[in-house]
Amino acid sequence: MLYGDAMANLGQAPDPTTGRPHVDLDQARFAIDLLAMLQEKTRGNRTPDESAVLEEMLTTLRMGYVRLSQSRRGDR
């Protein structure tokens, strides 16, 4: 759920309410931070597969966030 929210707020998935992509970096960052907190709080209590999926999701989201925030800075 948090991954989907972050992807939608990074414009990488359609918004479930409108069906169109949009960008909200603050909301994307919030979802990414929540996933990172869950990763930290569940350390040692996940299967290796769960850990791998969580790490892959965070890597994808963080890279997307950085890429988008840098491109937005260049637009100013």
Condensed to tens digits (0 to 9), the pLDDT of residues 18-74 reads: 888 899 999 999 999 999 999 999 999 999 999 999 999 999 999 999 999 998 887
pLDDT of residue 32: 98
Cβ neighbours of residue 32 closer than 8 Å, sequence gap 6 or more: 6, 58, 61, 62, 65
Residue 28 placed within a domain: yes
Cα–Cα nearest to 52, from 70, 37, 39, 62: 39
Residue 76 placed within a domain: no
Host domain of residue 57: 2-70
Residue 75 placed within a domain: no
Residue 23 placed within a domain: yes
pLDDT of residue 16: 75
Residue 60 placed within a domain: yes
8 Å CB contact between 28 and 6: yes
The residues that bridge with 10 in the sheet, in sequence order, are: 23
Residue 40 placed within a domain: yes
Number of domains in the chain: 1
Is the pTM higher than 0.85? Answer: yes
pLDDT of residue 76: 60
